[in-house]
């Protein structure tokens, strides 16, 4: 049965026109059922009485009509999905070829070929469409028994090779990416063979932008080389107009994920590279053109700016991209990141005002906000509020039923080591003695050895400051 509430008004109107067409539907009761589902809330008995007034109630009769309506809707979705010029073109060529309409086939094929050549996109679908055209032309030539001088079979083979390589490379890249994110172990079959095929004939294969780009993206995953990184960033700029915006977004995220991994390994120079990539996306108005931004991309960009102390840039980013966040998370993301900016600028009161006046409805933002409040109280040396906040934080973790045990442990450990930090701070002499420094080093080693611990670097930085 169709869930009408999940269909947009535009799609409802288009589907209504569809079922009114006698070519697709000649059962007026299906049209009536659809109208009643949209406009009125009726139970099965009422629906049956309105649609089949001449018959006694029979639920199966109504279910059968629902089934027909559902089948029509699925056909409608298939046709809607076909409502792209390229897809229709291929079906028209099939129809002309199967109908032995040679003259019309030649004219249509020539028109489609010219239009395909003129397109600026040179992505995966471009080469697949070229393969399809060559395949259809070869079928036409074979049917017409004119095989001698035509190159369609060669083109069919060549474009099939290119399409396969692109899809295979793209899939390998996503497998390599996910292996690093969710610790999955994929069987990377034919990876070496694919790279070797391209490596052995670079002059030929590098003329195809997706093959060229994915070749170096795989290299980046394999080597982590900065030279490969530079090459890839250059190719992204060179081939920018050859891909859809959604594909460009994906390419940026692959490269930015590499930067984040390098930063996590201690390669702090990549902070500047990551910032430059975000600036490129802003300069090209990629976020605006796509009309959305994930909360994680929003937060990552802001964090990079804060670490580089580009506060004006961060403030502009927080406000300009706010409307591109999804409605359900917008306020939480905006307020938390604004508070975090003020915290990094040492404007603790301003940050605390935001955190104390906003109710964070998302658990993860709630946790982040609590951590930020904890750090503010610690920085301001407000012992009583800090102690009360830690107890409230513990109670929140204990009572929360949606957080996993893993997540609870990460934050419980933060509270545990913050308390140790406080106790050590209270015993801090005016001038750090050898014995005090020894205690600091012991706590540092203890913290460094804990795997599940939020804000580990902040704790270590506070200990480092204490030792001076």
Encode pLDDT of 98-131 as tens digits.
Answer: 888 888 888 888 888 888 788 888 988 889 888 9
- For 38, other C-beta atoms within 10 Å of its C-beta total 15
Residue 110 CB burial class (10 angstroms; 0-12, 13-18, ≥19): exposed
Residue 382 is given by DSSP the state -
8 Å CB contact between 303 and 317: no
Nearest to 274 by CA among 260, 291, 292: 260
8 Å CB contact between 143 and 265: no
* CA atoms of 191 and 81, how far apart (whole Å): 33
Task: Tell me the two tokens of residue 272.
Answer: 């500047």
Measured CA to CA in angstroms, residue 396 lies from 79, 364, 392, 411 at distances of 52, 12, 6, 11
- For 12, other C-beta atoms within 10 Å of its C-beta total 13
pTM given for the model: 0.74
8 Å CB contact between 129 and 116: yes
DSSP 106-166: HHHHHHHHHHHHH-S--SHHHHHHHHHHHHHHHHHHHHHT--SS--HHHHHHHHHHHHHHH
* CA atoms of 459 and 422, how far apart (whole Å): 11
* CA atoms of 46 and 400, how far apart (whole Å): 45
Q: What kind and span of H or E run contains 71?
A: helix 59-81
8 Å CB contact between 255 and 229: yes
Measured CA to CA in angstroms, residue 250 lies from 1, 60, 174, 246, 436 at distances of 36, 48, 10, 6, 50
Nearest to 189 by CA among 172, 176, 210: 172
Residue 55 is given by DSSP the state S
Query: pLDDT at position 209, please?
Result: 96
Query: pLDDT at position 151, please?
Result: 83
Query: pLDDT at position 403, please?
Result: 87
8 Å CB contact between 216 and 232: yes
* CA atoms of 305 and 274, how far apart (whole Å): 10
Task: Tell me the two tokens of residue 323.
Answer: 């409307």
Nearest to 424 by CA among 438, 411, 413: 438
CA R_g for the chain:
31
Positions in the chain whose pLDDT score sits under 70: 1-6, 82-87, 145-150, 181-184, 432
The separation between CA 450 and the C-alpha centre of its own chain, rounded to angstroms, equals: 31
Left, alpha or beta for 285 (phi > 0: left; psi -120 to 50: alpha)?
Answer: left
Residue 2 is given by DSSP the state -
8 Å CB contact between 234 and 272: no
Query: pLDDT at position 145, please?
Result: 66
* CA atoms of 192 and 200, how far apart (whole Å): 12
Query: pLDDT at position 234, please?
Result: 96
Long-range contact set of residues 326-331: C-beta below 8 Å, sequence gap at least 24: 326/292, 326/295, 329/295, 329/362, 329/365, 331/358
* CA atoms of 112 and 130, how far apart (whole Å): 10
Residue whose structure tokens are 């946790």: 367
Task: Tell me the two tokens of residue 242.
Answer: 């050859």
Q: What is the total residue count of the chain?
A: 468
Left, alpha or beta for 190 (phi > 0: left; psi -120 to 50: alpha)?
Answer: left
């Amino acid at each position: 049965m169709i869930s009408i509430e999940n269909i947009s008004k535009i799609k409802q109107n288009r589907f209504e026109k569809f079922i009114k067409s006698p070519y697709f539907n000649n059962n007026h009761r299906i049209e009536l059922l659809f109208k009643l589902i949209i406009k009125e809330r009726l139970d099965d008995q009422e629906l049956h009485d309105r649609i089949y007034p001449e018959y006694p109630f029979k639920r199966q009769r109504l279910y059968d009509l629902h089934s027909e309506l559902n089948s029509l809707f699925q056909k409608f979705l298939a046709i809607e999905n076909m409502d792209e010029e390229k897809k229709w073109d291929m079906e028209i060529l099939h129809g002309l070829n199967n109908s032995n309409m040679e003259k019309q086939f030649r004219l249509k094929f020539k028109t489609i070929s010219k239009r395909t050549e003129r397109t600026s996109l040179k992505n995966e679908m471009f080469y697949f469409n070229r393969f399809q055209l060559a395949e259809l032309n070869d079928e036409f030539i074979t049917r017409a028994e004119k095989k001698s001088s035509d190159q369609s079979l060669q083109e069919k083979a060549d474009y099939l090779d290119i399409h396969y390589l692109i899809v295979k490379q793209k899939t390998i890249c996503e497998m390599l990416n996910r292996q690093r994110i969710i610790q999955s172990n994929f069987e990377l079959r034919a990876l070496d063979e694919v790279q070797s095929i391209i490596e052995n004939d670079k002059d030929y294969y590098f003329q195809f932008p997706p093959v060229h780009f994915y070749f170096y993206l795989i290299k980046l995953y394999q080597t982590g080389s900065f030279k490969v990184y530079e090459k890839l960033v250059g190719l992204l700029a060179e081939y920018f107009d050859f891909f859809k915006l959604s594909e460009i977004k994906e390419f940026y995220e692959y490269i930015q994920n590499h930067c984040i991994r390098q930063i996590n390994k201690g390669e702090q120079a990549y902070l500047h590279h990551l910032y430059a990539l975000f600036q490129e996306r802003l300069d090209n108005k990629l976020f605006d053109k796509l009309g959305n931004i994930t909360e994680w991309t929003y937060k990552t960009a802001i964090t990079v700016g804060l670490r580089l102390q580009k506060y004006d840039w961060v403030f502009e980013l927080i406000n300009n991209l706010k409307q591109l966040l999804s409605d359900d998370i917008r306020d939480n993301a905006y307020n938390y990141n604004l508070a975090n900016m003020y915290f990094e600028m040492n404007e603790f009161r301003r940050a605390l005002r935001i955190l104390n006046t906003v109710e964070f409805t998302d658990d993860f933002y709630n946790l982040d906000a609590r951590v930020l409040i904890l750090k503010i109280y610690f920085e301001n040396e407000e012992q009583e509020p800090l102690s009360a906040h830690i107890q409230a934080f513990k109670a929140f973790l204990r009572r929360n039923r949606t957080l996993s045990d893993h997540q609870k442990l990460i934050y419980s450990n933060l509270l545990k080591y913050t308390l140790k930090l406080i106790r050590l701070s209270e015993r801090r002499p005016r001038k750090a003695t050898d014995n005090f420094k020894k205690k600091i080093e012991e706590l540092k080693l203890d913290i460094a050895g804990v795997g599940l611990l939020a804000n580990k670097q902040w704790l270590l930085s506070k200990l480092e400051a204490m030792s001076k």
